[in-house]
Amino acid sequence: MEEQKKKKIWSIVKEISLYATIIVTGVFLIPNYVIAKNVVNGESMENTLYNEEQILTEMVSYRFGKPKRFDIIVFYRFFDEKNTNKSDKNAYEFYVKRIIGLPGERVRIEGDIIYINGKPLEEHYGKDPICDSGRAEEEITLGKDEYFVLGDNRGVSIDSRSSSVGNVKKDWILGKACARIYPFDKIGSIK
């Protein structure tokens, strides 16, 4: 009889441990290290993403590989580059943009043409032609861990053309936008 009590207690302890592991994984590990929900703020990614749409950001692949040209990323933009503490929610804001320039490349915008290493970039993501080259009017050489990003709505986007955003360091990238989860009639992967 005492052996049965021990087995029952051990069974309860194992079950509680399993539920605790599931809860810790679901509440802490997944949103902090695997996938996060973000909200698009503004019109800068139209016609791909719209204001207040909710997206899932996958945070694993860039730990094992590098971001690719045309990936849509979510990244931190720190208000003060001396304070890059991601746990300080007042130190940054999130941006959602498309990668155009990769580490080590030279980026320049002339008129509405984007040049990468002196060659025109063929892309079709821009909603409207580029009217303002910003700081990319002069050629920008990206560092070994820097990316040049643009919003798809080039007329209103504050992106790497602006000194307030500038080149995006790899450490600032939260992850790749992979799916839209709201509004419900647009649920699906992001192209």
Catalytic residues: 44, 97
Q: How far apart are CA 174 and CA 177, in angstroms?
A: 9
106 CB-near residues (< 8 Å, 6+ apart): 115, 116, 117, 118, 139, 140, 141, 142
Angle at 75 between CA 70 and CA 76, to 5 degrees: 160
Q: How far apart are CA 57 and CA 31, in angstroms?
A: 10
Closest residue by Cα to residue 77 from 154, 174, 150 = 174
Phi-psi region of 13 (alpha: psi -120 to 50; beta: other; left: phi over 0): alpha
Q: How far apart are CA 101 and CA 64, in angstroms?
A: 20
- Scanning the structure block, which residue is given the tokens 């959602």? 96
